[in-house]
Chain A
Amino acid sequence: MDSLKDKGCIVGVGESAFTRGSGKTELRLMLEASAKALDDAGLKPHDIDGIVGPPLGASAEHFAANLGIEDLRYSTYVEMGGASPVVALQSAAMAIAFGVANCVLVPCGWNGYSVMRVSAGGQGGSGATPPGPLAGTIGAYYLPYGAVAPVQWYAWLATRHMKLYGTPFETMGTIAVTARKHAQLNPQAYMRGRPLTMDDYLKSRWVSYPFRLFDCCLETDAAGAVIVTSPERARDLRRPPVYISGVAEGHPYPADDIPARPDPFVIGLTFAAPKALRMAGVTLKDLDFAEIYDCFTYVVMLQMEALGFCKRGEIKDFITPERIGLGGELPMNTHGGLHSEAHVWGINHIVEATRQLRHECGERQVKDAEVGLVTGWGDFGDGGLAILRR
């Protein structure tokens, strides 16, 4: 179980500008992020010999062609929606541990506002052939009833949780408000300068009950990139390495249909969490912060219960502004997350965790951060977990 422990480390991170209207292709956005990650690491493009390609927008070979990687020794993809970047760390660590590649680039990004905006009937919400195994289920069984968007699918879980366990809207609101508060300390957060109160949250319009507008993440054009290499290679690079101490993926069962699940609250992360924690040899109490994939507020709560921070149904008592805010017992989404920094498929959560562990975060720095976790969530509940340490 500890085969990948500390075998790979993150040595470079970068991102594109976060906008609504990039005027650029997804590939261009991801290349800009990749160039920044390379510069951050002090690596040259041709040092990269492995690429875990993004789930959409470009192929690994597109990256190799642009970056001038003549000998791309390893390329693969992770098709797990928003869980893809975190799970890509597992592929990268595997490739490095077995000597298949030395230096692996993980890019991810999209024009989530200007091209694929779900709320404007864009590709993301049209039901027009979403990627992977979900297309068949959605097209045949969800589409005629108008359920084609993540905000609707995940709401089934949220409604049931609220009704069974008396989970109040204020718990969801606390997640949204805290993310926005943290974004005020992040110079590149899209929502910097626009604070949010619980009252604003509770008064925001319904999108798909029990989700209001501010239960939903941002729609932005944005990309990020992460570079993973071996501890040996990391020694003479520009930044201190951040070790991938534990990493695992998990899939809900069945992964291609939500209604059919024997237990709807068993998600991919339920399977991934014990594996990654055991690999890293840490317990939840050891964590200095948590970057939790926050496409929707309730999805954060679902993941926190799956991680084991509290028993099922008790998330309403666990989530408090004091506990998850900066300075609290478990600061969460210290950059503002998908809710208030930008929607970059969660690769921005990896970027933030890396910077927190390098102690580069200025006003929002978690004091003496040594170890943190990053989750990914995608499609119908695919999950990934990475335990990172300095």
Chain B
Amino acid sequence: MAAGTQGEYKLPLPRMRGSAVEFYKFCKAHELRFQRCTDCAAWRHIPRDMCAKCGSFNFEWARSSGKGTLFSWTTVSQPALPQFAPLVPFSPAVIELEEGVRMLSWVVDVKPDELALGMPVEVVFDDVTPEVTLPKFRRRR
């Protein structure tokens, strides 16, 4: 269930083009997958055409364990977009996955003043609309 929303989902949905369509397609299936080079095995996010480590165009969408730690965050009190006003304070957070990639998300079950660097978290999937699922994170114990 989307935090702070009831009924119709009012927050902006991801603008999907190119590889983002695929990233969110896996999220809809409740799988967190990132690109991984099939030549040198380097993981990457955000998605790219090429492997920056070895120059290969070859990759697979490899499944992440979904486990990670909190790398950093901000806690928004004055949102830049009015749709987010009912949610304040909320914390766009940088999550570092076990595979080494980092992504932006929310930690849904931790109050902003309890967030801490290195806090263990794991992915949860929020089906915000019938078409779109957002990966979010909860504290891992």
Mark A residues whose CB is within 8 Å of B: 118-119, 121, 125-127, 136-137, 139-149, 151-152, 155-160, 163-164, 205-211, 254, 256-260, 264
Contact = CB atoms under 8 A, between A and B. Distances in A.
A136 to B, nearest CB: 7
Contact of B92 (A145, A164, A211): A145
Contacts of A149: 80
Given A127-B12, A144-B12, A146-B90, A206 B102 contact: no
B77 A209 contact: yes
Contact of B104 (A119, A127, A141, A254): A141
Interface of B: 11-18, 20, 23, 44-46, 52, 71-82, 84, 87, 89-90, 92, 94, 101-106, 112, 116-117, 128, 134
A371 to B, nearest CB: 36
B92 A142 contact: yes
B92 A143 contact: no
A205 B103 contact: no
A104 B5 CA distance: 53
Given A141-B46, A259-B103, A160 B77 contact: no
Chain A CB count within 10 A is highest, among B13, B18, B102, B112, for: B102
Nearest to B52: A254
A112 B112 CA distance: 31
B17 A140 contact: yes
A159 B81 contact: no
Contacts of B73: 156, 159
A146 B11 contact: yes
A260 B72 CA distance: 12
A145 B72 contact: no
A375 B16 CA distance: 35
A122 B134 CA distance: 26
A41 to B, nearest CB: 39
6 contacts: A139-B14, A145-B105, A146-B84, A151-B80, A164-B117, A258-B94
